[in-house]
Amino acid sequence: MKTRNRIVSLILAAAMLTAVLAGCGGTEPETTTTAATTAGTTAAPTERTDTLATGSQTVIMTRSTTSGSESAPETPASTEPTGTAEPTDTTPSEASTEDSPAVSIGPGTLPSTEDTTAPSGGTETTALLAAARTGTVRDISGVLTVGSWAMEYYYASDSGLQSYANQISAVKSYLPNVNVYAMFIPVAIAFYCPEGHSGGSDQRAVMERWYDMMPSVVGVNTYGEMAGHADEYMYFRTDTHWTQRGGYYAYRAFCKAAGFTPNDIGAYDYAADTGYLGYMYAILKNSSVGSLMSANPDTVEKFKPLSDLTATVYQSPAMSGGYGVSVVNMDSTNYYAFTGGDQPLICIENASVSNGRVGIVTKDSYGNALVPFLCDHFETLYVIDQRYFNTDSTYSMNIVSFAQSHGVTDIIVEANAFNASASASTFGKMVP
């Protein structure tokens, strides 16, 4: 299971990263630093703390969801789980591989608050966010923590990037009249790594290099758009994922690339729930930062699509025997709020749009928070999680024939930084 792979990789990565991170405090079990960033890992973790000069710092952290060894996805639940579930997303490692479907940890404990307008910058923009980014910097078994914020190191693999780029380019060659877009999604350490510390590969440079490898495909400048909003609540502190607000800024970048006019963030119905503790908390709760994280849980912001939508989940490309799902569940208190979590195939029909655009989004778990914004611009949007197809125990999916049979005009390939450089991509199994 992904979670176990991820925890093992975290522990193994600590040894490999010692030399790289020597500047972060040497090799002693404890080191201390004051900066602006975040937290996290598991029982009996190995810690190193760093002491940095105090003073105001603007820290940019980018959250990397690494995927350990690729594994068969679990059967998706049709209802949102309650209590504490075992997380199954990604594993930090020097050369990352693709993640398996994620399971978020536990529902929130505080009542939801409904607003018609989202707060500017998010619910943690001011004092709370500043406090979360200020504190002791630690390396705990290969995870960088600052205060109550935990981030995974990110190391790109050029061979993995090239392999994935070749697969996306092949789709474009099979479908020359279809718009094909690549969306590289930075992970948190890209924007929030404390000064004087290395978060691994430069994700802006990695994104640009990846796009250069596939000149026939439109590369979406997600990093550029998101960097302009790094002072907002774009990533969870206790989870590996971005927030839906982070997804919104990536959506704006897509609109610029695709010729759509993005909706204003204040136009959406909005709700926020506090009390969310995610995957990083699950693996770090027994470390020295566990209590910090539990005392400062995340907030789940939710932005409801503007259109009249009908979303149906299917297990196979034949799309028979489906069941309904909310694109955004405004009552949910965790990452399952978005598309009900990871699903094999979702068909989202939009009764409010008549523009002839039919899209496919291929995705990892980051795509869940992105899709609700995209579906406002398509008559029909097919959301495909490639991890659920083309294994011995799952249905086959050929993305080219699927696109042809459904009159698709646009294909959006979303991949978080780890999956973009995965050495063995499940996306490639969908390409003839």
Report the C-alpha gap between 98 and 388 in whole angstroms: 13
Look at the block and give the residue holding tokens 């790094």.
Answer: 230
At residue 93, the pLDDT reads 34
Answer whether 90's CB lies under 8 Å from 2's CB.
yes
* Per-residue pLDDT at 389: 97
Q: What is the mean pLDDT of residues 125-143?
A: 72
Interval 74-99 mean pLDDT: 35
- Is the model more confident about 232 or about 134? 232
360 lies in some domain: yes
Query: For 336-367, how does the pLDDT look when each residue is reduced to its tens digit (9 = 90+)?
Result: 999 999 999 999 999 999 999 999 999 999 99
Task: Quote the tokens at residue 128.
Answer: 């709370």
- Inter-CA distances, 116 with 246, 267, 322, 369, 419, Å: 19, 8, 32, 19, 35
d(CA 174, CA 171): 5
Exposure string over 128-145, b if 16+ CB within 10 A, otherwise e:
bbeebbbbbbbbbbbbbb
Amino acid letter, residue 423: S
Q: What is the torsional sign of CA 136, 140, 144, 149? A: negative
Would 150 be classed as within a structural domain? no
| Residue 25 predicted with pLDDT over 50 | no
By the 8 A CB rule, do 344 and 383 touch?
A: no
pLDDT number for residue 28: 28
Residues 210, 216, 217, 219: is their CA dihedral positive or negative?
A: positive
pLDDT over 80 (residue 64): no
pLDDT band of 87, cuts 50, 70, 90: very low
Contact between residue 33 and residue 136 where contact means Cβ atoms under 8 Å apart: yes
Query: Rounded to two decimals, what is the model's pTM?
Result: 0.77
Over 60: is that where the pLDDT of 418 sits?
yes
Distance CA(64)–CA(155), nearest Å, equals 9
Domains held by the chain: number: 1
Residue numbers of the domain that contains 357: 158-195+205-268+305-430
> Does some domain include residue 62?
no
The answer to whether residues 65 and 365 touch, using CB atoms and an 8 Å cutoff, is yes
Q: Is 72 inside a domain boundary?
A: no
30 in a domain, yes or no?
Answer: no
pLDDT of 83 above 50: no
In a domain, 425, yes or no: yes
- What is the rounded CA–CA span in Å between residue 167 and residue 144? 32
Q: Report yes or no on 229 lying in a domain.
A: yes
CA distance 325 to 339: 7
Give yes or no for a contact between 369 and 338, defined as CB atoms under 8 angstroms apart: yes
Q: Answer yes or no: are the C-beta atoms of 262 and 284 closer than 8 Å.
A: no
Q: 68: closest CA among 94, 103, 45?
A: 94
Residues 188 and 62: beta-carbon distance below 8 Å: yes
Q: Find the radius of gyration of the CA atoms of the chain.
A: 20
User: What is the rounded distance in angstroms from the CA atom of residue 23 to the CA atom of residue 44?
Assistant: 24
With a cut of 70, say whether residue 415 has pLDDT above it.
yes
Residue scoring higher pLDDT (309 or 89)? 309
pLDDT in tens, 279-318: 999 999 999 999 999 999 999 999 999 999 999 999 999 9
Of 221, 251, 270, 243, the closest CA to residue 374 belongs to: 251
In a domain, 412, yes or no: yes
